[in-house]
Amino acid sequence: MNIDRRSGCPINLSLEVFGDRWSLIILRDIIFGGRRHFRELLNGSMEGIASNILADRLKRLMELGMLTRADDPSHKQKAIYSLTEMAITLVPILAHLGAWGRVWLPVSEELSIRAELLEKGGPPMWDKFMNELRHEHLGASPAPSEPTVRATLQAGYDAVIARNARSIGCDPAP
């Protein structure tokens, strides 16, 4: 891992890895959104990342050992990005960031429900999710039990969207 070091402080070094605007968002979309291809990351980002920035951050995350890239066997021109163990172990940190943001920042209900569920699920849910990610990205066994943590988080999001749509008298988008 090649990091320009201002000091050996672990907080400083972590900020040198994640201190840019996009790296954690990309990892969030891979971890929680299951996005593994460049186009999925580009088009699925509600924050609107530019393609050149995405390409640069993916390259940097690979150089740092957070992601790997492999050819997609189903399509010659596609690549599949996978999390490494180093990235998978960010799940508790992301859960804590989400919990902090829910308390101190003006979050939306639909976009904070996953953070709430992760916070309530605590370390047992985080461990289960990390094991599911190890299976999905590293080929570790055993296969995850159903429902997966990602499916549980998505169901929570879908429920909030449906409830909010009913409260304003319209059908939720599919």
Same domain, 72 and 95: no
Same domain, 124 and 139: yes
What's the CATH code of the domain at 61? Answer: 1.10.10.10
Q: Is the pLDDT of residue 170 over 70?
A: no
Cα 47 from Cα 33, distance rounded (Å):
14
Average pLDDT, the chain: 91
Cα 26 from Cα 65, distance rounded (Å):
14
Tell which of 39, 69, 84 closes a domain. Answer: 84
Cα 24 from Cα 127, distance rounded (Å):
19
Q: Is residue 70 part of a domain?
A: yes
Q: State both tokens at 119.
A: 């916070």
Contacts of 33 (CB under 8 A, 6+ apart): 40, 44
Cβ-contact 122, 99 below 8 angstroms: no
User: Which residue is listed with tokens 């902090």?
Assistant: 100
Same domain, 130 and 77: no
Per-residue model confidence (pLDDT) at position 39: 95
Residues in the chain, overall count:
174
Instruction: Give the three-class secondary structure for 68.
Output: strand
Same domain, 71 and 105: no
Per-residue model confidence (pLDDT) at position 123: 98
Same domain, 78 and 95: no
Same domain, 78 and 114: no
Same domain, 79 and 1: yes
Number of DSSP helices (H) and strands (E) in the chain, helices first: 8, 2
Per-residue model confidence (pLDDT) at position 55: 97
Element (H, E) at 81: strand 79-83
Same domain, 103 and 116: yes
Same domain, 1 and 80: yes
Same domain, 55 and 12: yes
Q: Is residue 121 part of a domain?
A: yes
Residues 85-115 pLDDT 10s = 999 999 999 999 999 999 999 999 999 999 9
Q: Is residue 174 part of a domain?
A: no
Q: Is residue 117 part of a domain?
A: yes
Counting the structural domains of the chain, the total is 2
Element (H, E) at 79: strand 79-83
- Domain interval for residue 78: 1-84
Cβ-contact 170, 117 below 8 angstroms: no
Give the pTM: 0.89
Same domain, 113 and 160: yes
